[in-house]
Amino acid sequence: MRFTEIILTEAPHLGRSELLKYGINSKRVQEFLDRVKNSKPFKLIAGGEFVVDPKTYNEVKNKIENSVQRESIIVRDEEGNTVNTNNFVKEPAFGGQEKEKYELKPSHIFPDGKFSASKVFDAVINNSVLQKTEYGKIVIDLAKQIQSGKEPVISDAPGEYHKAIRDYAGEYLGVLALLKGIANFPNQDAWFNHLGVSSLDEITLFFPSKQNNPLADSEGFFENKETGNRILVSSKGGEKGAPPSLNNLKIPDNLRTAEYKDVISFIETMQSSNARTQPFRGLNALFEIVPDKIPGYAKKALPFSEATIEKLERLTDQGKKSDLFQLPKVYQKIVNEWVDLPRVKDTAPIGGLVHYAVNNMILDIVNNKKSIPQFDDLAREILQYNFIQIHTFLEADKMTFSVIWPNREMATGNIALYSKASASNPAKGRMSFSVY
């Protein structure tokens, strides 16, 4: 018996990296400390609010100022209850968007539980959370339109709701459109064949409240339990969805061929590195694979030794832009060539500048110069086994949906190496595949 499952999940919001994105003296940190000092509440992702005990102000301030990589920031209320700031909503005051205030995310409207494909429409249309708000009722109407086999029209909805409906409700409305067959999915039959099912009637859906797969911000998977074949799904509004991390994509054994030997070596080097060391180890790998594509001045620093990588990793938290002169001239040259220094904050650590410069060099070598010709092909092959993307668009008040299944034979989807790290925040994340 075949069984296929899709799970949609979401990521937390105001963790350590987001709070300290612009440093300990940023407006985000000042707002955070002001709320602690004055007993102002923080919104919880799971619902409700949390007020940090103002008597712990100095303790919280010390935790933030002395926070280290990957260390969670734990706070407590007057009754001694503790919570990780990962559980706080990233409100507009902390860089979140106004759309955050709308209760439209899967975590807002679905309990943990599974739905068969035949019942998932009812789970949306009869949802008590959606029924209690004006914008929720609009989403219900959109679901009813999809259920009737029509591309939903949103013309009657106030413009202030549009982005939130597209980006948040679109996460499950896009899945409904896929289930109903109104999403643009030109190679659906081939995808069914690969997955080993004959139709989407063979699936169930699960909307958990917590993230259990870090591949993307909101995601799921189709799985054929007879074969173990699984394809992850990201459902997002607009042109780009959350990029899938290199680290979470398994390279199937049948792709480990001589043709892909070099690019697999590069990808696995990137997968085995943390966010702070990844560009240095990645450039080492490229130096072995395509040494002629590395700029001559950069070769003088290569390969980075383990001691050098450890030092550069430490420097991603130390110094500031004006200290760049303290680095060896070869590193200064790399930074000056690959970083637009006038646009970088003065507080950017010197190790962050080198990290960002090497990151940019790698992106240029792989994406622009196409120096590893097999990269795009292998990326599509990997994603064929791992990932599809559902996009939700708003076009002239009509909501449309498109499904991209990257596949070399089908030649669908564009692939690029992607990084969201910056000179000021080199540990923001490891490199990803960008699907667009």
Q: Which two tokens stand for residue 207?
A: 């909307």
Q: Is the pTM of this model over 0.75?
A: no
Are 313 and 349 within 8 A, CB to CB?
Answer: no
Q: What element of type H or E holds 399?
A: strand 398-404
Annotated domain spans of the chain: 16-96
Distance CA 354, CA 333 (A): 10
- Mean pLDDT over 422-433 rounds to 84
Q: Cβ contacts of residue 250 below 8 Å, gap of 6+? A: 382, 385, 386
Closest by Cα among 105, 70, 78 to 90: 105
Mean pLDDT across the chain: 81
Q: Picking from 280-284, 384-388, 394-398, which range would have the lowest pLDDT averaged per residue? A: 384-388
Distance CA 342, CA 359 (A): 18
Which residue would you say has higher pLDDT here, 129 or 72? 129
Which residue would you say has higher pLDDT here, 2 or 208? 208
Q: Picking from 101-115, 269-283, 387-401, which range would have the lowest pLDDT averaged per residue? A: 101-115
Distance CA 257, CA 358 (A): 29
Confidence band for 58, pLDDT divided at 50, 70 and 90: very high
Distance CA 36, CA 56 (A): 8
Are 231 and 418 within 8 A, CB to CB?
Answer: no
* 3-state DSSP assignment of residue 201: helix
Closest by Cα among 29, 28, 13, 89 to 62: 29
Q: How many CB atoms lie within 10 A of CB 280?
A: 25
Instruction: Of 128-137, 396-405, 425-434, give the range with the top mean pLDDT.
Output: 128-137
Which residue would you say has higher pLDDT here, 234 or 260? 260
Which residue would you say has higher pLDDT here, 354 or 91? 354
Give the per-residue pLDDT at 354.
Answer: 94
For residue 111, pLDDT beyond 90:
no
Q: How many CB atoms lie within 10 A of CB 248?
A: 17
Q: Picking from 27-31, 35-39, 277-281, 357-361, which range would have the lowest pLDDT averaged per residue? A: 27-31
Give the per-residue pLDDT at 411.
Answer: 47
Confidence band for 114, pLDDT divided at 50, 70 and 90: low
Residue 227 to residues 3, 120, 194, 234, Cα–Cα distance (Å): 10, 25, 11, 22
Residue 330 to residues 23, 182, 325, Cα–Cα distance (Å): 27, 55, 11
State pLDDT tens for residues 313-325: 999 888 899 999 9
Strand-strand pairing, 218-224 and 9-10: antiparallel
